[in-house]
Amino acid sequence: MDDVKPEAFTATLAFRIGTLGALVTDRLAEKAREHGLKVKHVGVLAALAGSGPMSQLELARLMRVAPSLVVTLADHLETMEAIQRLRDPDDRRRQRLELTETGRALLDECTEAARALDDDLTASLDAEQRATLESLLAAVAAAEGLPA
Amino acid sequence: MDDVKPEAFTATLAFRIGTLGALVTDRLAEKAREHGLKVKHVGVLAALAGSGPMSQLELARLMRVAPSLVVTLADHLETMEAIQRLRDPDDRRRQRLELTETGRALLDECTEAARALDDDLTASLDAEQRATLESLLAAVAAAEGLPA
DNA sequence: CTGAAATCGTTCACGATGTGAATGATGCGG
DNA sequence: CCGCATCATTCACATCGTGAACGATTTCAG
């Protein structure tokens, strides 16, 4: 007993998900860069597509990010005309962020790129295993209160 | 047909693994900080424990990190007496990094913390689902050439 | 109605993290 | 022995995100 395996730490879920997450995010960043975006920009587009228009503060909470960061993300997306920034007439402190057609198209392209990445990642898995993995990760993500 | 779901991007494996990875790494960082370490320091300890003593360059390649970063990581770990840095007598350019007893103990504590985190993450899963998830992630990680 | 307090977005200075380009020391091949 | 590769180190730098002000607006108590 008490025979601790040397690889115990790297065999941990926390370590595996962490390192895999970093790897995957790097690759996703490359693809997003081809469209002039960072990963978080795509996160904004996805949030707006998934939850509809919202204020910057709502978005900040959803993305678990400082409100000041949303400013710069929205700035860039607005410049690209991927989103519209409208003062909420009912509360003129709020900026209502809304996806444009351009933004939707951009998101679709990034989604396509992400799917291609998925295919690559799961190349060693059969269809059933892949579906299982997706389902289990979705469950864990949901339990942690992550979007979608 | 062609009815694209709004949540298509967030339902992607790439996005899920990426965001989950960030979340998990943050939590792991908190635990590591209690021991005076960053996550990458623990990565160094784990690598040395798993693959045995090695040079800084080997470690840099294993961790997919710039050699200059290994310098500062090793500096800190050496100060804590978690590793030993010995000039390789056969090739005096190399620094042979080796885990000390202190380092081993530190790694064990961090592994324990990671396991606790794992339990938390998989609280909504039964034992079989958790084992399946671990196995599938290990397969994906292995296919991407990640350690352990 | 009015002034105080809260809310939202914005700006800015800053810390934290990691990289790539020099540099110096050492090893190796002709 | 000399030229070149390799390893570790230092350092300047880019990137990323945060938290503390601040101004504009809304809300609410009295």
Provide the pLDDT for residue A148.
Answer: 81
Asked if B13 and A122 come within 8 Å (Cβ–Cβ), the reply is yes
Percentage of chain A with pLDDT > 70?
96
Provide the pLDDT for residue A6.
Answer: 66
Token match 């996703």: residue? A28
B92 closest-nt by C1' vs CA: C26
Mean pLDDT for A78-83 is 98
What tens-digit pLDDT sequence spans chain B (148 residues)? Answer: 555 666 799 999 999 999 999 999 999 999 999 999 999 999 999 999 999 999 999 999 999 999 999 999 999 999 999 999 999 999 999 999 999 999 999 999 999 999 999 999 999 999 999 999 999 999 999 999 999 8
**CB-based contact A95:A78 (threshold 8 Å):** no
Mean pLDDT for A86-92 is 97
B110 burial type by CB count under 10 A (0-12 exposed, 13-18 middle, 19+ buried) = buried
pLDDT digits (tens, 9 = 90+) for A90-143: 999 999 999 999 999 999 999 999 999 999 999 999 999 999 999 999 999 999
B63 closest-nt by C1' vs CA: C18
CA closest to B130 among chain A residues: A136
Cα B20 to Cα B30: distance, rounded to the nearest angstrom? 16
Mean pLDDT for A30-38 is 98
Size of interface A-B (CB pairs under 8 A): 206
Provide the pLDDT for residue A1.
Answer: 54
- Is strand D in 7 Å reach of the CB of B84? no
Mean pLDDT for A37-51 is 98
DSSP per position, A72-109: HHHHHHHHTTSEEEEE-TT-TTPEEEEE-HHHHHHHHH
> Please, which pLDDT band fits residue A7 given cuts at 50, 70 and 90?
confident
